[in-house]
Every structure is written in structure tokens, then in C-alpha cells.
Amino acid sequence: MIRATEKARHLMGQIVKPGDWVVDATVGNGNDTLLLADLVGPSGRVFGFDIQAAAISATRLRISHLPQVTLIHAGHETLAAHLQTLESTGDRPALAAAMFNLGYLPGSSKNIVTQAGTSLAGLEQALAALKINGLVTLVLYPGHPGGADEAAALRSYAQNLPDNFSVAHHARTDTQRPAPELLAITRSG
């Protein structure tokens, strides 16, 4: 069975095109940032957010040859404010996609973990900036401490979006413990 993270990456590969503007809302070790940089190419832009300096600096080493990537050491709940800054410089910040891979940074402190309130704020801001046919993916970790509440809040928010968004929910039903899940939200109008 394909993992939630792989499914998210697969969906991004179908949607994101050269020249697009996209967001990696949780940079972590930079794997999704690199994928997005590859998909948008040198004419696109990737904005990567993380609250951990270690994640930003580790990823900075991996993307130093990729001028299309801008790393931002701040929470994704500041996404709208950062896009606003770009708008005031005359650039158009409509997003083709945003990836949220929630939870904690593998190999790092499990105490630094995404929170329902800021994840919801980041999601809301990403959806507000999303262009038609754009995609937001969220990998949820209901098995982590605190992860079940965060996953429930995001599922509920997604299920109550207006009709111009469609939501797919991929979750395993054959595991004893809660497995990572994927929400894939597309703006259709």
C-alpha cells in the first residue's frame, strides 16, 4: 500500500507545472521542498516554511543550487503575511499547490510538533491563495501524541469547506494503530 507521504508527492507530480508558485508548509529535512523545486523548475517559485532553525539550515544546504527556493524561518500561519509582502512588490502570489506534512521532524525533538491551531491557520491561508485547479495536501499523523486531535480538527475543517473545494481523504483501514492519513483538497472554482 502506498504511504500517505508518497501519495501526496504523486499528486503533486500530476498538478504542479514548470513556472508555478508553490508552498512547502513544513520544510523539515527538505525532501518535499526538493520535489517541488524540481516540478516548478527555474522559472517557478517555492516558498518553504519551518519553525526550526535546524530544518531551515539543513535544507538550505540541499537547495543552495536552486534559486527558485525561498526558505522562511517562520510558521506556516504567517503564510498570508509573507505572500502579502510579495504582492506589494508587484509579484502575483496565486499558488498552484501547498504541501503540509505535519507532526515532528524525524530524528529531532518530538516536542516540536505541529499544532491544530497553527495548522488550521496555515491551511486556511493556503486555500485563500490557491488558484483554480490548485491542490493542497496534508499528511496527518493521528498516532502521534496530540496528533489525533489535530487530525480530527483538520478533517472537520476540510469536510466543511464551501462547494468550490473538493476533498479526498485517504486512510488505511487495515492497521491496528492509527496510520498516517492524507487529505487532498482541490479548488474547482
Ligand X SMILES: C[S@@+](CC[C@H](N)C(=O)[O-])C[C@H]1O[C@@H](n2cnc3c(N)ncnc32)[C@H](O)[C@@H]1O
CA dist., res. 79 & res. 183, Å (int)? 19
Nearer to ligand X, 20 or 32 (CB): 32
Helices 116-128 and 79-88: crossing angle in degrees, nearest 10, is: 30
**Stretch near ligand X under the rule CB under 6 A, chosen from 23-31, 80-88, 125-133, 171-179:** 23-31
Among 36, 46, 75, 154, binds ligand X (CB under 6 A): 75
DSSP summary character for residue 109: -
Neighbouring CB atoms inside 10 A of 126's CB total 25
**Site for ligand X contains 101 (CB under 6 A):** yes
Give the three cell numbers for residue 87.
Answer: 504582492
Among 2, 112, 152, 168, binds ligand X (CB under 6 A): 112
Q: Are 170 and 137 spatial neighbours (Cβ–Cβ below 8 Å)?
A: no
Among 11, 40, 58, 76, binds ligand X (CB under 6 A): 76
Give contact residues for ligand X (rule: CB under 6 A): 25-26, 28-32, 49-52, 55, 75-77, 101, 103-105, 112, 114, 118
